A and B are shown apart, each in its own frame.
Chain A
Amino acid sequence: GESVGLHLPTLSVQEGDNSIINCAYSNSASDYFIWYKQESGKGPQFIIDIRSNMDKRQGQRVTVLLNKTVKHLSLQIAATQPGDSAVYFCAEIPGANSKLTFGKGITLSVRP
């Protein structure tokens, strides 16, 4: 699989490979993080979340890793499928504040 930071707009992977999408967050007070998937013409959809007292959380085919030391978040997608093609966003929430802010997003393109 490939990994790329959110400063690059597109990640292209081969169907069946693993994908890794990275996100650097800026607010050290953030203690809750969410990954969203957005398909063309639709609103963002929740994928997985993680709280700051955890380093790793697994879902179905997805894993989120949190490294608080370097303020880094990643989303791993196992056995990437064509239906995974979308834009992916990370989001953070600082402390008890309700403010929910997003990173710029990355487009994942799956090659058949």
Chain B
Amino acid sequence: NAGVTQTPKFQVLKTGQSMTLQCAQDMNHNSMYWYRQDPGMGLRLIYYSASEGTTDKGEVPNGYNVSRLNKREFSLRLESAAPSQTSVYFCASRIGVNTEAFFGQGTRLTVV
């Protein structure tokens, strides 16, 4: 049972480049989340998907787009990367109301 899988684990981008971070879960969870984690800032919610077919903005959505491709997959896209988007990105999922979220191992992204 793989849980939540994120790809890639590491990425270096040049300013202005685009890329998509992939997340997949095999636990049949309904809700999925994307967070970024910066030193001293904790986990900040970028976007979430309460269920397949829906997405909503979190605390820091600017500069990002998401796609809930199906129940398993939730991708995060950076259209034009900026150095301020250098961070560790975590994907999470949970089955529903009043249940804990399970996290992937993170993607460390550096924008130069």
> Which of B42, B94, B97, B103 has a CB less than 8 Å from the CB of A45?
B103
Asked if residues A44 and B90 are in contact (CB atoms below 8 Å), the reply is yes
B61 within 8 A of A: no
- Given A34-B100, A102-B42, A42 and B90 touching (CB < 8 A)? no
Tell me the minimal C-beta distance from B21 to chain A in angstroms: 14
Quick check: B101 and A43 within 8 Å, CB to CB? Answer: no
Is A96 among interface residues, defined by CB-CB distance under 8 A? yes
Q: Which residues of B in the span 55-112 have a Cβ within 8 Å of any Cβ on A?
A: 56, 58-59, 90, 92, 94, 97-98, 100-106
Q: How many residues of B contact A (CB 8 A)?
A: 28
Minimum distance in angstroms from A105 CB to a CB of chain B: 5
Q: Are A49 and B31 in contact (CB under 8 A)?
A: no
**A100 contacts which of B40, B42, B101 (Cβ < 8 Å)?**
B101
A89:B31 contact, CB within 8 angstroms: no
- B103 and A100 contacting across the interface, CB-CB below 8 Å: no
- In the complex, the chain A residue whose C-beta lies closest to that of B45 is A101
Q: Are A89 and B43 in contact (CB under 8 A)?
A: yes
Interface-centre pick from B92, B101, B106 (highest chain A CB count, 10 A): B101
Cβ–Cβ < 8 Å partners of B59 in chain A:
101
Q: In whole angstroms, what is the CA distance A103 to B42 when docked?
A: 7
Knowing A34-B101, A43-B106, the reply to whether A98 touches B43 (Cβ < 8 A) is no
Q: Tell me whether A100 and B33 are in contact (CB under 8 A).
A: yes
Chain A positions 13 through 48: 1 when the CB is less than 8 Å from some CB of chain B, otherwise 0: 000000000000000000110100000001111100
Shortest distance between the CB of B59 and any CB in chain A (Å): 7
Among residues of A, the one whose C-beta sits closest to the C-beta of B106 is A43
A51 in the interface (beta carbon within 8 A):
yes
A100 and B105 in contact, given A9-B40, A49-B100, A51-B98 (Cβ under 8 angstroms): no
Q: Hey, which bits of chain B sit against chain A, CB under 8 A?
A: 4, 31, 33, 35, 40-45, 48, 50-51, 56, 58-59, 90, 92, 94, 97-98, 100-106
